[in-house]
Structure 1
Amino acid sequence: MTRFLLVAGAWLGAWAWDEVAAELRTAGHEAHPLTLSGLAGKQGVPAGQQTHVQDIVDEVERSGLRDVVLVGHSYAGVPAGQAAERIGDRLRRVVFVDAAVPVDGESFLSGWPSEDVRRSIDEHDGHWPPPTADDYAGQGLTDEQIARVVGGATPHPGPSLTEPAVLRRPPGELPATYVKCLLDGEEPPPAAAEPLKSGKWELVTMDTGHWPMFSRPRELARILHEAADGR
């Protein structure tokens, strides 16, 4: 039995993991999906990136989780990677699901053209508005799955995207798995390149898009189980 703490990316909450969590529980594991501050049922709560790091650390402590596999999808890779080093010996492994990898002193928006995002945040009261249905095209999602994502998405708190990460040591020192979803590009982000050479990280690919918890929940649950066992 493995304890999984599941953190979804921008615009999403714990609900995004419903199918994956069900698969994990059926296999005999614990699954703890987490909604970050300012999202889904926690809308209206002021949140920056360090708020989200603390959300994860607090959930580990509140639930008494040990030997935990911490899963961060997309944006959530940034706070998850920081939280992983802070929970110390409670951590078994980090799994980055098509995720950003934190770099000390850099924000989620660092390293890619982000002026449109920053402008959008300014124009929407400090929040990044969710994508429209058209933005999910080509990501292996059915119309029904797209409707579910669009219907559940909420604006993402802008400060969490612009605040810098704070790391005590390189991410490559953590035991980790990087799951690359090939319909969203064949290569992991540049920040993952060095850690993947460290010997402590493994690379797994999925032939699907950026939201595998919707498009391939059973396959993703299997990959998480295998990552927990170091396979």
Structure 2
Amino acid sequence: MTEFVLVAGAWLGSWAWDEVVPELRAAGHGAHPLTLSGLADKRQVPAGQQTHVQDIVGEVERLDLRDVVLVGHSYSGIPVGQAAERIGDRLSRVVFVDSNVPVDGESFVSGWPDGRAAVEASIAGSGGFWTPLTAADYQGQGLTDEQIGRIVAGSTPHPGATLTEPAVLPRPLGELPATYIKCLLDGPEPNDDVIELLKSEHWRLVEMDTGHWPMFSRPRELAGILCRSGADS
């Protein structure tokens, strides 16, 4: 049995996986959706990026999980990638869902040469938080109006320090067994960092014909990919 630890991206909590978790459990796996500090029901908890890394490592250790597949969506690929290196032989595989990946010494906004100023301005003007997207921002991503409504209603401001603190990687990310899921409606190609990592013999690419939030738009298909990725390990 594979134990999946599921971490959604910016503004979202464990609730984002509500339609994926039953699929994984029905297939005989453990599924552990995690809310990171500063978000959703933990929104009062101060958080930086390393707080989020420790949230993930701590959950694996608290539950004493083995044969772990860490799943990071969007922003959360950055703390998940760091946590994957820190849980040692508990790790079976890491899955990046249309996500950013950590680069040693670089932050989430480091890779945003055009949008960095806008993100940092949003954080500065919102008391240290990144303001959630509006419904209009989710158009063209394969989501129904009902799905968009759920995302917008459940989103909470994202702690800004998690976006500006640098990642810390003790060894190359390409050495980890990994699957990268590219959601094609969000762009046909992964970013340059991911393209380079996919040259590793330990990494594989899977494409989904949907948008950036497949846990809402294609939960059953996503769960199937996750199950297969666990079997690949």
Find the residue that maps to 1:9 and give its secondary structure.
coil
Matches within 5 A, 1:104-119: 104-112=104-112, 113=114, 114-119=116-121
Matched letter for residue 119 of structure 2: V
Q: Is the 8 A contact 1:82 1:167 kept in 2?
A: yes
TM-score between both structures, scaled by the size of structure 1: 0.99
| C-alpha distance in 2 between matches for 1:65 and 1:131 | 34
Aligned-partner residue type, residue 144 of structure 2: T
| Alignment pair present for 1:189 and 2:187 | no
Q: Which runs of 5+ in 2 are unaligned?
A: none
Q: Per-residue deviation at 1:195? A: 1.4
> Alignment RMSD, CA only?
0.8
My pick for the range that moved more, 139-148 or 108-117, is 108-117
Q: Among residues 122, 132, 137, which one is paired with 2:134 in the alignment?
A: 132
Which residue number corresponds to residue 68 of structure 1? 68
Q: Is residue 17 of structure 2 the alignment partner of residue 17 of structure 1?
A: yes
Aligned to 2:167: 165
Following the alignment from structure 2 to structure 1, what is the Cα–Cα distance between the partners of residues 123 and 30? 36
Q: Distance in 2 between matches of 1:21 and 1:216?
A: 13
1:27-106 matches, cutoff 5 A? 27-106=27-106
Q: Structure 1: which amino acid aligns with 2:145?
A: D
Residue in structure 2 matched with residue 199 of structure 1 by the alignment: 201
Specify the SS of the correspondent of 1:229: helix
Between the aligned residues of both structures, percent identity stands at: 73
Moved over 3 A (4+): none
The unaligned stretches of length 5 or more in structure 1 are: none
Distance apart, 1:128 and its partner CA: 0.2
Report the AA paired with residue 182 of structure 1. Answer: L
Shift of 1:152: 0.2
